[in-house]
């Protein structure tokens, strides 16, 4: 049971480049989400999904796209990277629904630098 995995661990991009951050989980969790962590600002929700084919925006969605074609995978796409997107990105997953133990499990993170 690998839990939540993220690739890559580190990435450097130039302004305007695009890339996809990968996230996968093997716990059969319905709920998956992406956060970014910036110094002094805690974690902020970018996008989330409550199941395959269903996604929605979080607090800071601009500049990011997501899709959820399978239960296991939830990639985050940066279409045209900007220096303001320099951050550490965390993917998380959990079971979904009231009455469940909806503790969220976090992946190891991707440290992204945009020059």
Using CB under 8 A, list all residues that contact another protein.
Answer: 31, 33, 35, 40-45, 48, 50, 56, 58-59, 90, 94, 96, 98, 101-109
In the complex, minimum distance from the CB of residue 81 to another protein, in angstroms, rounded to a whole number: 22
CB nearer another protein, residue 19 or residue 106 = 106
For residue 18, is it left (φ>0), alpha (ψ between -120 and 50) or beta?
Answer: beta
Strand order in the sheet with 76-78: 4-7, 19-25, 76-78, 64-66
In the complex, minimum distance from the CB of residue 108 to another protein, in angstroms, rounded to a whole number: 5
CB nearer another protein, residue 64 or residue 90 = 90
DSSP state of 73: B
CB nearer another protein, residue 83 or residue 108 = 108
In the complex, minimum distance from the CB of residue 16 to another protein, in angstroms, rounded to a whole number: 28
CB nearer another protein, residue 42 or residue 62 = 42
Closest CA to 81 of 21, 6, 5, 7: 21
DSSP state of 84: G
In the complex, minimum distance from the CB of residue 79 to another protein, in angstroms, rounded to a whole number: 23
Q: What distance in Å separates the CA atoms of residue 49 and residue 15, rounded to the nearest whole number? A: 28
């Amino acid at each position: 049971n690998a839990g939540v995995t993220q690739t890559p661990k580190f990435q450097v991009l130039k302004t305007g480049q695009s890339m996809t951050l990968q996230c996968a989980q093997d716990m059969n969790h319905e709920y998956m989400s992406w956060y970014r962590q910036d110094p002094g600002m805690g974690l902020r929700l970018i996008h989330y999904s409550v199941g395959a084919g269903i996604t929605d925006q979080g607090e800071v969605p601009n500049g990011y796209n997501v899709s959820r074609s399978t239960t296991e995978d939830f990639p985050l796409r940066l279409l045209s990277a900007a220096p303001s997107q320099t951050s550490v990105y965390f993917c998380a997953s959990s079971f979904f629904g009231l009455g469940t133990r909806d503790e969220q499990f976090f992946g190891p993170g991707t440290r992204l630098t945009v020059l």
